[in-house]
Amino acid sequence: MKRRYALLVLCALVALAVLWWRGQKPQTVKRSRMIMGTVVEVTASGRDGLMLHEQIEAAFSEMERLERLLSPHIETSEVAQLATSRDLQVSDETRTVIAIGLEVAQKSDGAFDMSLGRLVEAWDVTAVQPRLPSADEIREALKGIGPEAIRLDGNRVIKREASLQPEFGGVAKGYAVEAGAKLLRKAAIDAGAVNAGGDMALVGRPEQREWRIGIRHPREADQLLGTLVVPGGAVATSGDYERFFEQNGERFHHLFDPRNGYPARGCQSVTVWTTNAAYADALATAAFVLGPTAGLELLENWPQTEALLVAADGTIFMTGGMEERIEWP
């Protein structure tokens, strides 16, 4: 008798919980915060608003934790320490960022290069009054760089020369975005996204079943080139239109060809869709530097990856599976 009573109470509780749950309206919470010098926007959809806020907060905290390891502007970060030491024992997170970067460096024949920090400094394209560095300055900045200039031995990072300045800006943000998304994936939310400017990771499925991501036109500031329609994954865009200066009608942007030390000339933008935002970030930069032909080949051969490249003259190149995912305006 007692047992039957307990069962009844349990059934009633379950029914109440279901009723409460169904009474909660699906909602989307969106918040943004400045992390790694970028406005990071996190969205989460579900029925429990309080929980959505908590999960978004957790994702931000995780990304801020990574910022404290990876930001060159935070004195105590591992990346800042690496700038002033020959070798350094680092966390698993920093090691993973570097390992992903090294993989992309290798497969892109050195187009992606995490040792060109001095070159980035020499150009300083976002300075208030940027200027062209001299040929000598560029030559000097390129000394000793290359895909073997920074090595990993377990969690030990070894620079070939103490004077080398590491630059992880082409992969660290993507890694942080992916880490934020990983937390959201573990949470009981319907859908979510982490978006740091050009780097984005998707979680779950939105109400309309597919994600629609606008690809900016690289030359018409408020126009879309097209809309990428995907079930999930990560999307990154590298372009020459966000951080650049112009001199005598020529555009000097922030993605450098390590072979000559000048901004890469082959592309206006590259958009990569793949499974992981760290790879998407680094691959977009790598393909941009390689230019449309070699860049397309790199991305065509990368597993589970599709891409759209806009060449310097505006011609569009796409991997085999990309065409069917783009809606044109």
Min CB(262)–ligand ADP separation in Å = 11
Round to whole Å and give the CA distance between 273 and 202: 11
Contact 255, 286 (CB under 8 A): no
Distance CA 202, CA 194 (A): 7
- Say which entry of ligand ADP, Mg ion, none residue 256 contacts (CB below 5 to 8 A, set by partner kind): ligand ADP
Contact 39, 199 (CB under 8 A): no
**Residues in 303-322 at the binding interface with ligand ADP, rule: CB under 6 A:** none
227 within 8 A of 204, measured Cβ to Cβ:
no
Are the C-beta atoms of 301 and 290 separated by less than 8 Å?
no
Smallest gap from Cβ 105 to ligand ADP, in A, equals 8
User: Considering the rule CB under 6 A, would residue 285 count as an interface residue with ligand ADP?
Assistant: yes
Q: What is the DSSP letter of 105?
A: H
Site mask, ligand ADP, residues 82-111, x = CB under 6 A? -----------------------------x
Among 46, 133, 169, 266, binds ligand ADP (CB under 6 A): 169
Considering only 233, 258, 266, 295, the residue that binds ligand ADP (CB under 6 A) is 258
Smallest distance, ligand ADP to C-beta of residue 89, A: 23
CA distance 8 to 130: 75
CA dist 36 and 63 (Å) reads: 9
The token pair at 251 is 């555009």
Tell which one of 71, 94, 238, 269 touches Mg ion (CB under 5 A): 238
Interface characters, 280-319, with Mg ion (x: CB under 5 A): -x--xx----------------------------------
> In the complex, what is the shortest distance from the CB of residue 260 to Mg ion, in angstroms, rounded to a whole number?
20
Applying CB under 6 A, does 261 fall inside the site for ligand ADP? Answer: no
Interaction of residue 79 with ligand ADP, rule CB under 6 A: no
Angle between helices 172-186 and 49-70 (to 10 degrees): 150
Report how far residue 315's alpha carbon sits from residue 310's, in angstroms, rounded to the nearest whole number: 6
62, 78, 113, 178: which one binds ligand ADP (CB under 6 A) = 113
Q: Which of 147, 192, 198, 291 binds ligand ADP (CB under 6 A)?
A: 198
Decide: is 146 part of the binding site for ligand ADP (CB under 6 A). Answer: no
Q: Which does 169 bind (CB under 5 to 8 A by kind): ligand ADP, Mg ion, none?
A: ligand ADP
In whole angstroms, how far apart are CA 42 and each of 23, 33, 182, 207? 25, 9, 12, 17
